[in-house]
Each structure stands twice: as C-alpha cells, then as structure tokens.
Structure 1
Amino acid sequence: MKKYILAMVGLVSVSMISCEKFLEEKPYDFIGVANFYKTEGDANAALNGAFSSLQPQTYFGRTSWLVTELSGDLMRVNAALADRDNLYGQTFDASNGEIGNWWNSNYNLINRANDVIKNVPNVPMDVARRNNIVGNATFLRAMAYFDLVRSFGSVPLILNPTTDLSNLKPARTPIPAIYAQIIGDLKYAEANCFAENLIPANAKGRVSTGAASALLAKVYLTKASIPAAKEASDYTNSLAASNKVINSGLYALGAYADVFDVTKENNRDHIFSIQFDLPPNVGNIVVRMHLPAGLNGTGSFVVEKSFEDSFLPLDIRKALTLRKETPTSQFAYYSKFADPLRQTNNARNNVLITRYADVLLLQSEALNEINPADANKLTGINAVRFRANLPNLLLANVATKDAFIDALVQERAWEFSAEGHRRFDLLRLGRYKARQLAAFNRTVADKYLLFPIPLTETDLNPNLLPNNPGF
C-alpha cells in the first residue's frame, strides 16, 4: 500500500492525511516556520508536503501527459475539450487551461521545495539524513525548473519560499542561468541523496542518487540542443551522468510487461516514479481516461493510427502497449496502463518519470553526438531493442548522426509512448516539425515550439511580458 500526506509548510496551517511508506502522519494546527522545523519528523513532513504536490490531476495526475503527449504525434483526442483539442491541433494560446495548470503546478512544487531547502539545514539531526532530505528537495526543484524551461523558455527563477515577500512580481531569468541552477541542484542531489539500495522499502518513491544522475544526463542533452545555453562539454557531461547510472549495477531491464505491472512497481527498471494508490490515498486517473467507454473508461484518448502502424512485426511492445476494443474499431487505445483493482478514477499506477531504458537511450544519444562513427552508441539502444524482441541495429545502417537520430526518435516512440516524454523528445532531437508533417501533414509555426506564458500570469505580473514570440 502507498499512502500520502499533504503538508502546507510555510503557510498559516498544515493539513495532513494518513500515510504509510516514507510519508508518515503527524498532525499540526496553525503552524508556521517559526514553530515548525524543530525535529527530524518536521523535516520529513515538510518534504512529504513537496512530494504530495506532484499528485493532483492538474499536475502529474493528468496534466503532465496531456501537455507533453497531445502536442506530440502518438496520441489523439477522442473526447472533444477545447484545451486538449488546441494542444493536439497546434492551435493553443495563452488562455489554454492545461498550460496554465502546468505552469502553476510546477511553481507550487518549487515553492514547497524552496521551503525545505531553506529551513531543513537548521534542523538538529543526523547530517547524512538531513542532507538527503535537502537533496530530495533540490531534485524536485530542478525537475520543476527543467519542465518549465523546456516548456516556456525563459521563466522567473525563484529560490526562496513565498514567505519571502521581497519580490512578488519577478522578471524572467535568462535560459543559461536557469540551466546552471538546475545542474547545481541536481549535483547536490547526486552527492547527497541515498543510493537506491540504501533507501528503505517503506521509503520507495524518494529520490536516489541514481535518479539525480539520470535526470542530469537528460538535462545536459537538452541544454546542448539550445543555442543560447549550449556548452562544448554538454555531451560528455551527459555521457558521464548516464554511465554513473549504468555502472552502478543498481538498475536493470526486466521484462517489458513488468514495467507497467502495478504489483511490481519500484523495481530495478524504475529509477524515479511518482507514487499513487487506491483511496483513501491519491489514485491515478490515467487508466480510466485511456480505456474506452465499453470497458468502463472515458475513452478520452486513442492511439494515433500512424503510430499503431509503425510497430515492427516482432516487437512485443505493440501487444503490451495498445489494443482494440473490437476487431473493427477504427482506433486502438493505450492498454499499457492497467489496474484490475481500479476504483473509477483511481488506480494504483505510478507515474514513471525515469526508467532504466531511458538512461540506456540517453547514453546512445550522447555517444552519437560525440562521435557518430563510434559503434558503442549502439549498445544502449540495442539492449532496449533486444528486450523488445527486435534485431540489433547495425552501424552501417545508422552511421550518420541524422540516421541514428531518426532511429532513436522511432525507438523512443515505441518504448515510451503515453508516458509524458514525446514533446520534449522531439524538440531535443530536432524532429518536432518533421514528425508533425509526417503524422498530420501539418506545418507547425515556430511559435508552437514553446508554450505561451499563461494569460492569468501575465495579467498579474507585467514583468513576464513580452510573452513568447507569436503569443
């Protein structure tokens, strides 16, 4: 069982619900910073509050994969709603509600993480455990800023909780400075979070040093794709980070079906996941939204036909990823997320932020950028393909940088569809416009390569203007 706690630390009061695993119950009333942060239990409760902010449907409970997958090329809207239709059709603007949710939820997480980072270092407790708590918070802050900068570009960099009222209308921060903060936070997490094998069983879901290294590998690759932020060392830094994870021996590829089995969560395939469970805990709506109405779902989304047709005959992932309600159904639905114990909207499926397969493919991506002629770039991608029952790629067929990127774009589609990666994968690998054209015969304007800053934010804070070009 996985249970959760909600802690509004740094505000007027703290509200909590029951918890298990690493989220332990501790009731408080009328608590502020001055009379909180006294014990190790307080420090853990504050961190639990940061983790709990990941779960709402306006964040990783739903919005995260709406904004990242509907604006890609693998999923289509099946139940019309304007915000979703506009993401899918590349017609979104600053009034889009899901984009607004994405902005607000990331900053809510940042505020809670800032509270932990500022106050926990003063708590008298074991130094290693204290640094681990702060490392978890710096990881969460880095993850939020990484999602913000690759979604919106330049955004305000806020490093103090909202109890600091000195700057209520912050300006946007240059992209290189945001990446520098992300990398600094992740390096702290990498150095101070516990290794995966040292995290107690009742604390699964906390950040490991391997999770920090894995996210660093992707951050460096993404940074290298942005001319304003790129540095010559980005690819070698990414490779070093992915190698730390691979060489740790703590992670491995198991059976592909086990990746999504709710009875086998937090296994060696899973590097960092957001935890969900059945009521009275926070459940995940993802299963119901993908299931068709005939299977007690909402049928909100279906598989893009071009993606369904792209699978190679031997690939075992197709049968585990999608299926059709009836043999004559026009579209398949995503079946990789399932929970036989689901209660309407609530399922046990964790949201998988980083998997070991992701790190293997990031290693291959970095090696291809460093030297396209290096046959070692095939090691990671071929390990992922072997698990899927596909033959190895041969260097002769992907010898050029662009040929290998095309293969990687396809492999990442088969491996990670509907998991919240697609928009960012296509942008990082330089294939966003090409895939929109191929899948939809649609030419995408440059302005849609970034989301607009939400209108609700620019109305309150004119220092966020001008908005991103075209909005």
Structure 2
Amino acid sequence: MMMKYFYKTCLLLSLFIGLSACESLEEKPFSFIGVDNIYQNEDDVDKALLGVYETLFFPGVSDLWYTLSTSGPSEMITVRLKGGGQGQMSSVDFNETSPHGQFWSHFYRGINRANNVIKITPSVGLEDGLENAKIAEARFLRAFFYFHLARMFGDVPLQLEPTEDFSDEAIRKPRAPLTEVYAVIIADLDFAAANLPLTRPANQFGRASVAVANTLLGKVYLQMAGLPLQQTEQYSKAISTLEKVIGVHSLQEKYSDVFDIATEGNNEIIFARPNLSNVEGSGTVMTFFQGAPNTPFSFPIGQYQLAFTELLYNSFDSMDLRRDVTFLYEYTHINTGDTIRYNPGGEPTAGLQFGGPRKPNGIPIGKLKDPSNQLNPFGHGNDLIYLRYADVLLMLAEAHNEMGEGGTSRDYLNEVLQRAGLDDENEADQNSLRELIKLERKKELAGEFHEYFDLQRWGDLEASMAVNPDAILRNVAYEPKLELYPLPRGVLENNENLTQNPGY
C-alpha cells in the first residue's frame, strides 16, 4: 500500500513538473524555448509522460460529466436534476452545447502531449528498449484518447504531430474517416503491446503495460465488429488479442474487493485512474455525487445526484452477490442510527430527503465508498476503473458467441457468473446467449463507463431509450443521430473545415 501511495503521490505531484514545453506548444509558444533542451534524460521523459496521464484527471465536476457521457445515456442511470445537463445525458437528449463537449478539448490536449513525447524521446539518447517503452506508453495513451473520440463523435481530425505550427492548415483540420482513425488506434496499440513492460510493480499502478494495451486493443476490435463499421472479421482478432490477458490478470474472489478502497490496485484492475483521499487535487468527486445522504461513505454526506434505476436492480437475481455491492439499497443513518431503506413506491424515504433521483426513482449507487476522506467533496480516493478482467471475460464470451462458438462463450461467461454466486449458464441458442451476455455486461460493469458505447455497437440504443425512465419523463424519442454525440458548437465555430454530425 505504501508503494502504491508513493506512486500515486508522485503521479499527482509531478504532473506539472517539466510540462512547460507541452503546454507552451498548445497555448503560448515562445520561440526561444527549445524543447530539445528540456528533455535531457529518462526522468524528464517520465515527467512528460505523467503530463499525458494528467489528462485523465478532469477538472472540477468533469468526473460527473464523464460518467454521464459514458454510462448515463442508458436505461441504467437516472439523475436528480432532470432539466439541465444531467437530464440531457441520462435521457439521450443531446445537443451541441451538452456537457459532453468538454471532452473534445480534454482528449485532444492529451493527444498533443502524447505527440510531444513521441517526437522528442528519440533525441534523448535512451537505450533502444527503454526508448521504445516510453514511446509505447505515449502511443497507448494517444490511442486511449482517440478511441474515446471515435466512439463519441465518429470521424474526427487526426493530429499525429505536436502542435508547433499554428497556421490554419495545421490546426484547422477536417475530419478523417472513422476507418483511418481506427487504423491509427490499432497501430498505436500494436506498438504499445510490443514494447511496453509485461507487468508493472505496485508503485507504478496506473501506468500502461502489455496487458493494458491488449485489453484496449481487444475492445477496439470488438467495437469495430459492431455498428457502425460491422467489420465482423474483427471478432477473431478480438479473441486472439484478449486471450493474451488471461493468466496475467484474474478475478478477485469477492466482487466487493474490486471496489473496496482498502484493496485497490488488485489484480482484477487492468487500467484505472489512481486517486488519493485527503490530498488536495488528487481525488474524485464521484463518490460524493453518487453517495446517498447521511452515510459515512462520502464527504460530507453524499449528494445523490445520480443513481441506478429500479429496472437495473430488478434485473438481478436475489442470490446475486453483486447486487448489494452495486446498490446501496439499505444503510444506517450516520447521525441517528436509523435504518434507511429505499422505498420503491416513489414516496419520500426518511433519510433520503435531499431530493435525489425520484419519479423516476433511483437507487443509490454502492460501488464507490470512501469513509476516510475528510478534506472536501473533491478529495475522495476511489480509483476510477477503465478496464478490468471481468470485462475481458465478457468480451471473450461475446466474441466467441458471435463466431458461433457457444461452448467457449459459456465458459467465459460462467467464470463471471460463478464469482457472482450464480449457476452456470447452459443456453445453447446463439441469439438467446447474446442477450444473456449483454445483460451480464450491464450488471457486472454498471456505472463503469461502458454502457453508451455498448448500446452503440449492439444497435440497442433505440430499445434502451424505449425503457429509459428519464427519456420517457422528458419525452425524448430515438433518432438515428443519437448514435453519436454532436460536435461541440465552439469547436465548429473555431474550425470552418469541420462539419456537424448528421441530424444535429
């Protein structure tokens, strides 16, 4: 734990050391600053790499908007404030000023920082293997950012060199076809998988490894196999890539240990953003926003801004060991000692009077708990998990089923079910097994930034919206345009070479 704490502290405190070159190239270039003079040794390169990772630490309440932009547009999430940006995300009522738009600039900032590392590292004079490992780390992160952009917006500009030329031609690029964007993502991840360290020590938790690159690459292939590209030949590539993660990572014995702040950094976690409690600027606000009122699990008492729907809760078997980890259906009031139990009838529940998600109702989320934070609502130490081994197993189950290999598909699915305390699945029909796998993804990975992208590639967004409580409340009907987010208005205004997604 001390080694992990040391790494996380170094990550968070070193972010702005040695970053002046990257940031000056983005925002305020000075011709007399030479980047070649800033990168002198491995330590300088590592500091610049930490600056690329820093892009994952969204400012202010952006953790909330990231969650609502990825998990929110589904039937699984309902929000407290139905009328504003929260309601737009959860009801799939997107427009070009919706809060998702900030991630265009966030991810391109990370891409530019990665481009700097990729370009300058060869001039430092590192040993070949070490040099390639540093470049591989930057290329993994560049792929991670582009993969988000591709799924959110479709065709996007490709910028593969650091921003040094501020001419219109250099910075006002048109959108590249989605297939070209995916080609860059795959090339970056292939290079990363070939050159990153096989594993990372505990004090480097949160940095990319071969398994991290292969997990993301497998997810990329699975996305390409679905809509909109429907390149079904990618299923076999997803399988061969994801199989490389088997034996490197594994499931935790207890589902609750995946998320427990005392067992963070466990072997099920493949890639996560490491956060620290009680260190200014180092934590997440999501524990506070998701937290139920009057619990000891968030500081000061939890805002109950978003919650899981009753529809999701009712999809769990009563014997499913994941249910009472995923949901905080019942808890003890921190001050009075009273038992607070969610009321599915829609009437106010004593202890849940803050005005959380009601009509349609929402059950408090239980995955993020941090009783140790005494700093402020933004200082919670729960790590944000982007990739974990259960996701790998479910992706393998899905890909094998689509290849007509139901037996192998069930084997992977049953590993997840067994950990949940459930019976093995024996379904032999491909279509029925497909629906079971989809449901297990929704239950196993609820709120972990996958839902909207899964609905996209399955072609299930319309069906999801038909039962989405917030979409029904706001009278939002499905339109094909909602399969992608609109480009942000400010981006379009600043670049006449960009075009808006159809329908917006």
Fold shared by both chains (TM-score > 0.5): yes
Of 367, 384, 398, the residue aligned with 1:336 is 367
Does the CA contact (< 8 Å) of 1:9 and 1:31 recur in 2? Answer: no
Q: Offset at 1:257?
A: 0.9
Asked if 1:418 corresponds to 2:447, the answer is yes
Aligned to 1:312: 317
Amino acid aligned to 1:374: G
Once the two structures are superposed, what CA deviation does each residue of 1:377-425 show, in whole Å capped at 9, x if it has no partner? 11111100100011111133xx12x322211121011111111111011
- Alpha carbons of structure 1 residues 31 and 281: separation in structure 2 relative to 1, 3 Å: farther
Partner residue of 2:303?
Answer: 298
Query: CA RMSD of the aligned region, Å?
Result: 2.0
| Cα contact 2:74–2:468 (8 A) shared by 1 | no
User: Which structure 2 residues correspond to residues 174-253 of structure 1 after superposition, within 5 A?
Assistant: 174-196=177-199, 199-227=200-228, 229-246=229-246, 248-253=247-252
CA distance in 2, matches of 1:307, 1:11: 43
Residue 362 of structure 1 is matched in structure 2 by: 395
- Code of the residue aligned with 1:337 in structure 2: it is L
Of structures 1 and 2, the one scoring higher in RCO (CA 8 A, sep 6+) is: 2
- Of the candidates 4, 10, 18, which is equivalent to residue 21 of structure 2? 10
2:435 paired residue among 406, 412, 417: 406
Look up the match of 1:287: 287
Contact kept, 8 Å, 2:79 with 2:305, in 1: the verdict is: yes
Whole-angstrom CA distance in 2 between matches of 1:201 and 1:126: 24
Alpha-carbon offset, residue 468 of structure 1: 0.5
Indicate whether 1:453 and 2:464 are aligned.
no
In structure 2, C-alpha distance between the alignment counterparts of 1:32 and 1:408, rounded to whole Å: 53
Whole-angstrom CA distance in 2 between matches of 1:357 and 1:303: 20
Which letter does structure 1 place at the counterpart of 2:105? N
1:140-159 deviations in Å (ceiling 9; x for gaps): 11011111111111010111
Contact 1:194/1:208 (<8 A) preserved: yes
Whether the 8 Å CA contact 2:227–2:456 is kept in 1: the answer is no
Contact 1:59–1:105 under 8 Å retained in 2: no
Partner Cα distance (1:271, 1:52) in 2: 18
Q: Is the 8 A contact 2:269 2:388 kept in 1?
A: yes
Flag the 1:286–1:32 CA change in 2: closer, same or farther, 3 A. Answer: farther
Give, in whole Å, the separation in 2 of the partners of 1:60 and 1:297.
17
Q: Find the aligned partners of 1:164 and 1:13 in 2 and give their Cα distance.
A: 12
1:36-60 CA deviation, whole Å, 9 max, x = no partner? 1111111001001111121124697
Q: CA deviation at 1:457?
A: 0.2
Q: TM-score, normalised by structure 1?
A: 0.90
Indicate conservation of the 8 Å contact 1:79/1:299, yes or no: no
Change (3 A) 1:202 1:452: same
Number of residue pairs matched by the alignment = 446
CA shift in 2, pair 1:131/1:63, >3 Å = farther
How far does the alpha carbon of each residue in 1:199-221 deviate from its partner, in whole angstroms, 9 at most, with x for none?
23221111010011111111001
Would the aligned equivalents of 2:71 and 2:452 in 1 still touch at CA under 8 Å? yes
Give 1:42-57 correspondences, 5 Å limit.
Answer: 42-57=44-59
Q: Secondary structure at the match of 2:171?
A: coil
Q: CA distance change for structure 1 residues 160 and 121 in 2, over 3 Å: closer, same or farther? A: same
Q: 2:380 aligns with which of 339, 343, 347?
A: 347
Q: CA deviation at 1:69?
A: 1.7
Deviation at 1:102, TM superposition (A): 1.6
Given residue 411 of structure 2, which amino acid in structure 1 is its aligned partner?
T
What percent identity do the matched residue pairs reach?
32
Matches of 1:417 and 1:45, distance apart in 2: 34
Alpha carbons of 1:241 and 1:356: their partners in 2 closer, same or farther (altered >3 Å)? Answer: same
Q: Which moved more, 1:307-316 or 1:287-296?
A: 287-296
In structure 1, what is the Cα distance between the partners aligned to 2:175 and 2:248? 41
**Whole-angstrom CA distance in 2 between matches of 1:168 and 1:403:** 48
The aligned residue for residue 264 of structure 1 is 263
Does residue 434 (structure 1) correspond to residue 463 (structure 2)? The answer is yes
The answer to whether the 8 A contact 1:54-1:60 is kept is: no
Change (3 A) 1:318 1:10: same
What is the TM-score normalised by the length of structure 2? Answer: 0.84
Q: Are 1:146 and 2:147 counterparts?
A: yes
Shift in Å, 1:91? 1.9
Q: Is the 8 A contact 2:227 2:458 kept in 1?
A: no
Distance in 2 (CA, whole Å) between partners of 1:281 and 1:12 is 19
CA separation in 1, counterparts of 2:65 and 2:114?
Answer: 20
Inter-CA distance 282–251: structure 2 relative to 1 (3 Å threshold):
same
Unpaired segments ≥5 residues, structure 2: 26-31, 296-300, 331-339, 344-348, 350-360
- Contact kept, 8 Å, 2:306 with 2:362, in 1: the verdict is no
Describe the shift of the 1:9–1:113 C-alpha distance in structure 2 as closer, same or farther (beyond 3 A).
Answer: farther
Which stretch has the larger CA shift, 327-336 or 205-214? 327-336
After TM superposition, give the deviation of residue 369 of structure 1 in Å.
1.1
Find the counterpart in structure 2 of residue 169 from structure 1: 172
CA–CA separation in structure 2 for the residues paired with 1:136 and 1:60: 24
Check 1:280–1:428 CA distance in 2 against 1; reply closer, same or farther (3 A cut). same
